[in-house]
Structure 1
């Protein structure tokens, strides 16, 4: 079972985190453009692997971040892999570029190169987000979601999708293109309804679950209903941590042995080796797994095995559990 080592629990559980924003400056000590503490990126990776994380998808949210995600994956082969795409909230990055067509061509070329070298496992993050229209208007989001799906049809990679408060338009755009997207993909950080989840699953998509998917009692009912063969685990680090105010937190209190993490400090009192308050890390996937296992009525070990197989089947990672 579990034994303590340097404040961490060494477990038999092994995780794949399908969504980690490791290009975020927070993992280099920068917050709001100002460096608050030393770069602890390597420590973040160390904590993840000590907690049992064996694979991570580093999310690309625009062209620059996708390039960075690939470089990070190249520097950490077998552990890190990348996605390439433009998040709906970054749609104006394309629209306002000097040449939107060239931007999309460069995005496709980057994804193709990464696919060939084995660093890129999915195309995205792409989709729609009507909850944050202050970042990009809905019509611009739809325009570039469609254009990115055109690229995806040529790449033959699984999709890494974002859907927030947009279910009708999201499916209206996706469904006609599904015959040319046989690998489907995952709708990550899912916060929709049971009906919306069931519709996506019926279309062949998997569902990614993180702390934001576990905030409310309604969220928990959705996760209970996700078929086990369609569930994937993620942290969306540095976002989407499980907080004490979340409905899911009660499960952590009941099952603390499985979710022990290193000490947490404020960034102003940073100590190398500690986690930073408010900055979610991939090692916290153990908390997500603990909650989801409790909701699904399976052990954490069983859930990890199922989620691992789901991810290997979709993304083609080169190692078995």
Structure 2
């Protein structure tokens, strides 16, 4: 079985508290050889890190979701940088802009986003970007931050326009696809992935416990379901699932270069 990576999940969330061991066991059985569990709140980060410490093939990121940007965390890159000294912390985020819900004021979302960009520059770790209904500001902010110094990252759970995809790809970013790609309503997204996102810039994810792919839609999502998303993306790209798995796994290790490849290979043995 070809090994896949779930590049974005939230295994510290209460949805998994009762059966996390079973979730990880099912993921391994489904050929999900590695998982990246994502930080969304600084005060909750110890729980994120604890999940990564508990399992050999799980790593984590540290960050503040745009929904949480209004919380007074100081907006200092140093706060994030300090946490990256841990060997299991391999990325910054998730961060970004969410103008759909506007749970935090937009100026504070932008301030938080810029602090994460600064942390990514300082550490050399990739940034994980959430963007919804904020294409122009996301592009402009990233472009302006890259002028200050290089960093790289991924647009996670991509559901944006082709213009957003092309702009982010031009900046060297990767594009990560969630179970939304399997939905009947995702025709535009499918076209963008098929035509505009090269295979060497693709990742796959669950964003679990949210966004379970068909045929699991409406249920709790979990990393084992990454394969359903991969199957859909492989069809759109005209390649086998094995080729898609090989490409997205290689892409993951190229982007998240702090993760030792042996973390995956041990599971393949």
Q: TM-score, normalised by structure 2?
A: 0.90
Cross-structure match for 1:8: none
Q: Which structure 2 residue ranges, 5 or more long, are not aligned?
A: none
| Residue 239 of structure 2 corresponds to residue 298 of structure 1 | yes
Cross-structure match for 1:7: none
Give the CA RMSD over aligned residues.
1.9
Note the C-alpha offset of 1:64: 2.5
CA pair 181-75 structure 1, distance change in 2 beyond 3 A: farther
| Residue 79 of structure 2 corresponds to residue 106 of structure 1 | yes
For residues 1-321 of structure 1, the aligned pairs below 5 Å read 12-28=1-17, 39-77=18-56, 79-94=57-72, 100=74, 105-111=78-84, 113-114=85-86, 118-133=87-102, 135-179=103-147, 182-215=150-183, 216-225=186-195, 226-243=197-214, 278-316=219-257, 317-319=259-261
SS at match of 2:71: helix
Higher relative contact order (CA 8 A, sep 6+): 2
Distance 1:81 1:287 in 2: 22
Aligned 8 A contact 1:66 1:82 in 2? no
SS at match of 2:90: strand
Aligned 8 A contact 2:120 2:151 in 1? no
Q: Which structure 1 residue ranges, 5 or more long, are not aligned?
A: 1-11, 29-38, 247-276
Distance 1:200 1:240 in 2: 23
Aligned 8 A contact 2:83 2:89 in 1? no
Distance 2:138 2:44 in 1: 24
Q: TM-score, normalised by structure 1?
A: 0.76
Structure of higher CA gyration radius: 1
Count of residue correspondences: 259
SS at match of 1:16: strand
Aligned 8 A contact 2:61 2:92 in 1? yes
